[in-house]
Amino acid sequence: MTVLDVPMTELRGQQVLYPTREQYLDVAKALADDGFTIAVDLCGVDYLQHMERPLPDEVVAERFEVVVNLIDIGGRRRMRLRVQVPESEPTVASLFDLHPGTEAHERETFDMFGIEFDGHPDLTRILMPEDWVGHPLRKDYEIGRIPVQFKGAHA
Partner 1 sequence: MSTTEEELTADDVVFTDDVAATSETVESAESGDDDRRYAVFVPNTYEGEQLLKPRSETTARELMREVGSVLRMSEAEAAMLGDLPEDPEEDQTMIINMGPQHPSTHGVLRLMLELQGEEVLRCKPIIGYLHTGMEKTAESLTYLQGGTNVTRMDYLSPFNNELVFSMATEALLGITDEIPERATWIRMLLSEMNRIASHLLFMATNGMDLGAVSMMIYGWREREEVLRFFQEVTGLRMNHNFIRPGGVAADLPPGWRDGVLQLMDMLPPRLDEYDTLMTGQPIWRERLQGVGVITPKEALALGATGPILRSTGVPWDLRHDLPYLEYEQLEFDTVVGSYGDAFDRYAIRLAEIRESMSLVHQILDHMPSGDYRIQDKKVTPPPRARIDESMEALIHHFKIFTEGFKVPEGEVYVGIEGPRGETGCYIASDGGPTPYRMHMRDPSFTNIQCLPHMMRGGLVADAVAVISSVDPVLGGVDR
CB 117 within 8 A of CB 106: yes
Pick from 18, 84, 102, 114 the residue near partner 1 by CB under 8 A. Answer: 102
The verdict on 117 binding partner 1 (CB under 8 A) reads: no
What is the rounded CA–CA span in Å between residue 87 and residue 84? 10
Give the residue with the Cβ less far from partner 1, 73 or 155: 73
71-81 burial string, b = 16+ CB within 10 Å, else e?
bbeeeeebbbb
Pick from 33, 57, 131, 142 the residue near partner 1 by CB under 8 A. Answer: 131
Half-sphere exposure of 75 (CA within 13 A, CB side): 14
What is the rounded CA–CA span in Å between residue 23 and residue 30? 10
For the chain, give the longest Cα–Cα distance: 68
- Tell me the residue length of the chain: 155
Using CB under 8 A as the binding criterion, the count of chain residues that bind partner 1 stands at 46
Pick from 30, 38, 59, 61 the residue near partner 1 by CB under 8 A. Answer: 38
What is the rounded CA–CA span in Å between residue 62 and residue 40? 24
Least distance to partner 1, CB of residue 39, Å = 6
The verdict on 136 binding partner 1 (CB under 8 A) reads: yes
The verdict on 146 binding partner 1 (CB under 8 A) reads: no
The verdict on 125 binding partner 1 (CB under 8 A) reads: yes
* List of residues contacting partner 1 (CB under 8 A): 11-12, 14, 37-41, 43, 45-47, 49-50, 53-54, 67, 69, 73, 76, 78, 80, 82, 96-97, 99-105, 108, 112, 121, 124-131, 136-137, 143
